[in-house]
């Protein structure tokens, strides 16, 4: 395969990643919007969107495996393909977590929430910001931005801890709220895992740019 065609194939992988990013971002936004507004129809739409994300992941994996088998790329080109595979897998998992939030919302049902949502939407916004930044860093090989994403993970962890502590206090005061409080804790956990996946992409970006794998403390 001529170099021009190979670069075109690599660009197609990137375009698929960007498409999946858009879908996953919408899934996260809509899953939290559905939770806040008690919109169960919107929650069902988020669940349905996960199938599209899975299909795009499968398509990218097939294209990447074909490129590796046919071209047997060396060094930096092989790293690019492997990193693209890792990125799409991380995005697909983010979609799974958003789908999980929507399914939890469906389990809560039409019942009013036991408390106003403050930290959970904040976690969602920060997680989306991290996802955008990690993928921008990946596309532009921006190591400094990737490192910043890794450092931002602590902020999401802190918000999750605050959510859990507040909900535990609610459960102690009102045991009848335990079921929904537990569901909200699961939602906070899913958002925290979305942020973790962005951190993974940031670390993969550092590997792609430098050739060395390292975590940011």
**Interval 59-69: pLDDT, tens:** 999 999 999 98
pLDDT at 2 over 90: no
Q: How far apart are CA 98 and CA 78, in angstroms?
A: 31
Q: How far apart are CA 188 and CA 124, in angstroms?
A: 9
pLDDT at 214 over 60: no
Reference 117, options 48, 170, 196, 154; nearest CA is 170
pLDDT at residue number 75 = 76
Q: How far apart are CA 2 and CA 10, in angstroms?
A: 13
Q: Which of 25-29, 31-35, 72-76, 102-106 has the lowest mean pLDDT?
A: 72-76
Q: What radius of gyration, in Å, describes the C-alpha atoms of the chain?
A: 19
Residues in the chain: 217
pLDDT at residue number 190 = 98
CA diameter of the chain: 68
pLDDT at 215 over 60: no
Question: Region 45-67: what's the mean pLDDT?
Answer: 96
Q: Which of 13-22, 32-41, 73-82, 113-122 has the lowest mean pLDDT?
A: 73-82
Question: Region 83-90: what's the mean pLDDT?
Answer: 96
pLDDT at residue number 216 = 44
Share the mean pLDDT of the chain: 94
pLDDT at residue number 72 = 79
pLDDT at residue number 210 = 84
Would you say the C-alpha torsion 162, 126, 34, 103 has a positive or negative sign? negative
Question: Region 80-95: what's the mean pLDDT?
Answer: 96
pLDDT at residue number 217 = 43
* C-beta of residue 214 within 8 angstroms of C-beta of residue 208: no
Domains, in order of start, for the chain: 3-210 (1.20.58.220)
pLDDT at 85 over 90: yes
């Amino acid at each position: 395969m001529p170099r021009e065609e190979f670069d075109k194939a690599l660009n197609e992988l990137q375009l698929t990643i960007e498409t999946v990013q858009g879908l996953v971002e919408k899934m996260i936004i809509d899953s939290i919007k559905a939770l806040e507004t008690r919109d169960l129809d919107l929650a069902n739409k988020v669940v349905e969107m996960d199938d599209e994300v899975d299909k795009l992941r499968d398509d990218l994996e097939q294209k990447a495996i074909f490129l590796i088998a046919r071209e047997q790329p060396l060094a930096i080109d092989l790293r690019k393909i492997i990193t693209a595979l890792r990125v799409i897998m991380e995005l697909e998992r983010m979609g799974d977590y958003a789908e999980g939030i929507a399914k939890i919302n469906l389990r809560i049902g039409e019942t009013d929430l036991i408390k106003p949502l403050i930290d959970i939407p904040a976690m969602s916004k920060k997680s989306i910001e991290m996802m955008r930044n990690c993928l921008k860093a990946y596309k532009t090989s921006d190591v400094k931005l990737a490192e910043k994403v890794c450092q931002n993970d602590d902020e999401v962890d802190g918000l999750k801890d605050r959510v859990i502590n507040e909900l535990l206090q609610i459960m102690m005061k009102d045991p009848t709220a335990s079921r929904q409080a537990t569901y909200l804790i699961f939602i906070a956990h899913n958002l925290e895992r979305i942020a973790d996946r962005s951190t993974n992409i940031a670390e993969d970006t550092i590997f792609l740019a430098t050739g060395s794998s390292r975590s940011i403390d």
